[in-house]
Amino acid sequence: METIKLNKSAERVVDVLFLLSKAEQALTLNEICKALTLPKSSGFELVQTLVYKGFLEIEDTRLKTYKLGIGAFETGIAYLSKMSVSQLARPLLQELNRQTGSTVFLGVEDKGKIVYLDKAESFSVVRPTAKLGSRRFMHTTGLGKALLAALNDEKIHYILTQDDLLPKTAHSNVSIQDVLKDVQAIRDRGYSIDDREDNIETYCIGSAIYDQWSQPIAAISVASMYSAMNSEREQTIITLVKETALKLSQQLGYGGNKLYAN
């Protein structure tokens, strides 16, 4: 294996930034130097350079405590802007597919419909599927309902009043009042359920995905054959969907620990 020669100064810069990114509060120069076993003189020069470049800020001028600056934030945002949701989601979709054995979908809202962006399909001969790029109703699919419930009430009302709420099966909600009840139930429990509402043979569980500004931007769902669903399997999938949705959201910069506000 090739030995990589690290630049000591660059390594120390990264160490300081990582230290302050994990710290629960601003740190003094002494605390930084002690944590990283840095000589105080070189630690002082390093910190002052990072302050000058905007990567650190002095939080308390009296105590001389330091925190991450706007430069660090801008660098992080630049990274996130170059990483699409699909790129970040792909390995998580595959892992969720492996854990559940079911088809996993990623979708976004566009013009009041849910658009299928990516999927990791089950290997079962009989399995739920959807063509990438296809559009389906927000009010009948687990994917669509998961995202719908995360939107603000004004946007929900706009989507629901653009077209008639057409049924896909006998189980579909077709009144605004019933859909809004479902939206509230999703918010209360933290995930969506599509119980044969879009396809009479499928049962889906979904959750919304959020960005660094806590805005809902996508959703994931696990789609199983209704005939293969039981209460134990349902609870397992619910847990995995919520964990995966939160993990993906946090990778996108989301700072919360809940997927829906009641």
In this predicted model, what pLDDT tens digit does every residue of 24-35 receive, in sequence order? 899 999 999 999
C-alpha dihedral (132, 134, 140, 141), degrees to nearest 10: 10
Which domains, from first to last, does the chain contain? 8-78 (1.10.10.10), 83-251 (3.30.450.40)
CB neighbourhood size of 106 (10 A): 25
**Is the pLDDT reported for residue 82 higher than 70?**
no
242's tokens = 């919520």
Residues ≥6 apart with Cβ < 8 Å to 127: 102, 103, 121, 223, 225
From CA 90, how far away is CA 155, in angstroms rounded? 28
Q: Which residue has the tokens 């669903």?
A: 229
The one-letter amino acid code at 142 reads: G
Of the pLDDT bands very low, low, confident and very high (cuts 50, 70, 90), residue 81 is: low
Per-residue confidence at 203, pLDDT binned at 50, 70, 90?
very high
pLDDT of residue 131: 83
Question: Position of tokens 């892992």?
Answer: 95
Alpha-carbon distances of 173 from 182, 193, 242, rounded to whole Å? 9, 12, 24
Across the chain, mean pLDDT equals: 91
Three-state secondary-structure class, residue 36: helix
pLDDT at 237 over 60: yes
Q: Is the pLDDT of residue 9 over 80?
A: yes
Closest CA to 239 of 198, 185, 189, 183: 189
